[in-house]
């Protein structure tokens, strides 16, 4: 069970300022190592079977499986023996989402994954094929068609996933646009040494006003929200990798091991090592390089 360090897939490597969206058609016949992204990722499996390990939790993957990942998530893909997973893979930046849709999707921490039935597949595949065609053969209004097709897929996934997990009736208030920008910034940079001053400046608000607006909209203080992002990420790393606790501490954005262990035990009622012993997964021996 000797895993490599989880790879971080960057915007600079996969996206450009002029193209904050890309779509791929992947065929995966060997496991894809655990990794995380600076961008958002939407995937739809069109054939094959395997296991999707999302934030350390394994789940079956088959035709119709769709999932959405934020920069706070990480995952690995493990095809079953003799299987080839074929999927559409869409990656995009926060700026590619309209504020209204971002508020609907990410107003609270949530994992979006759902297994669609065969009767639901034709319009989903059609939307992915449209994204593929418009991105490679752009024409009049292609940007709008791409945006509309992606939004349709995201909303359909969010509806089904929320209904399946008992959240179908929740409709958040749009909230302050500066706070939405701040949350997106935190999700991308929580592993770094960011401060209230950094984020309030990015949001264009004074530190005091930002703190008031953030707590009113998010329901927690900036520091608490930031720490929860780091702890969630650390818990997933403990489950899905064999990285040393010290390395996980720093990779998650904590400055000292003592603070990390104290905060972790307060949140999960167990030390990092005890949590890992309860939740560790068995890993297949062979791995391949990460794709987005």
- For 137-193, write each residue's pLDDT tens digit: 999 999 999 999 999 999 999 999 888 765 544 444 446 788 888 887 888 789 889
What integer best gives the mean pLDDT of the chain? Answer: 86
Q: Is CATH 2.60.120.280 the classification given to domain 7-164? A: yes
Length of the chain: 292
Backbone angles phi, psi at 131, to 5 degrees: -60, -45
Alpha carbon 158 to chain centroid distance?
Answer: 14
Assign domain 221-281 to a CATH class. mainly alpha
Read off the pLDDT band of 5 (50, 70, 90). low
Residue 1 has pLDDT above 50, yes or no: no
Q: Name the maximum alpha-carbon separation found in the chain.
A: 58
Q: Which of 200, 199, 198, 219 is nearest to 209 (CA)?
A: 200
Please state the pTM of the whole predicted model: 0.71
Helix (H, G, I), strand (E, B) or coil at 268: helix
- What is the mean pLDDT of the segment spanning 219-225? 94
Report pLDDT digits (tens) over 69-106.
988 788 899 999 999 999 999 999 888 888 788 877 87
- pLDDT of 283 reads 43
Contact predicate 24/259, CB 8 Å: no
| CB contact set of 279 (below 8 Å; sequence gap of 6+) | 56, 238, 239
Tokens of 264: 């972790």
Residue range 17-27: average pLDDT?
Answer: 85
Q: For residues 197 and 199, what is the distance between their CA atoms, to the nearest angstrom?
A: 6
Average pLDDT over residues 254-266: 96
Q: How many CA atoms lie within 13 A of 94 on its CB side?
A: 19
Between the ranges 40-49, 212-221, 234-243, where is the mean pLDDT highest?
40-49
Per-domain residue ranges of the chain: 7-164, 175-219, 221-281
pLDDT in tens, 26-38: 999 999 988 888 8
- Contacts for 180-185: CB closer than 8 Å, 24+ residues apart: 180/99, 180/102, 180/103, 182/210, 182/214, 183/106, 183/218, 183/225, 184/94, 184/102, 184/106
The pLDDT of residue 166 is 59
Name the token pair of 3.
């895993």
């Amino acid at each position: 069970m000797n895993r490599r360090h989880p790879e971080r897939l960057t915007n600079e490597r996969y996206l450009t300022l002029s193209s904050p969206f890309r779509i791929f058609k992947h065929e995966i016949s060997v496991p894809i190592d655990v990794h995380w992204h600076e961008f958002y990722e939407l995937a739809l499996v069109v054939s094959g079977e395997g296991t999707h390990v999302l934030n350390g939790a394994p789940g079956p993957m088959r035709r119709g499986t769709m999932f959405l990942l934020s920069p706070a998530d990480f995952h690995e893909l493990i095809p079953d023996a003799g299987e080839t997973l074929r999927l559409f893979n869409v990656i995009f930046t926060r700026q590619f989402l309209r504020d209204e849709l971002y508020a609907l999707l990410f107003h609270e921490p949530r994992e979006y994954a759902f297994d669609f039935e065969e009767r639901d597949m034709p319009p989903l595949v059609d939307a992915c094929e449209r994204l593929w065609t418009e991105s490679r053969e752009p024409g009049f209004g292609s940007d709008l068609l791409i945006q509309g097709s992606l939004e349709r897929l995201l909303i359909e996934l969010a509806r089904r996933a929320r209904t399946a997990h008992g959240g179908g009736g929740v409709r958040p208030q749009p909230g302050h646009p500066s706070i939405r920008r701040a949350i997106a910034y935190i999700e991308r940079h929580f592993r770094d040494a960011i401060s209230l001053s950094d984020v309030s400046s990015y949001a264009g608000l004074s530190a005091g006003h930002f703190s008031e607006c953030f707590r009113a909209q998010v329901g927690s203080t900036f520091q608490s929200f930031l720490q929860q992002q780091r702890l969630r990420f650390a818990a997933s790393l403990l489950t899905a990798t064999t990285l040393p606790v010290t390395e996980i501490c720093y990779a998650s954005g904590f400055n000292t091991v003592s603070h990390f262990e104290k905060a972790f035990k307060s949140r999960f009622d167990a030390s990092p090592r005890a949590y890992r012993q309860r939740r560790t997964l068995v890993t297949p021996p062979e791995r391949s390089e990460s794709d987005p």
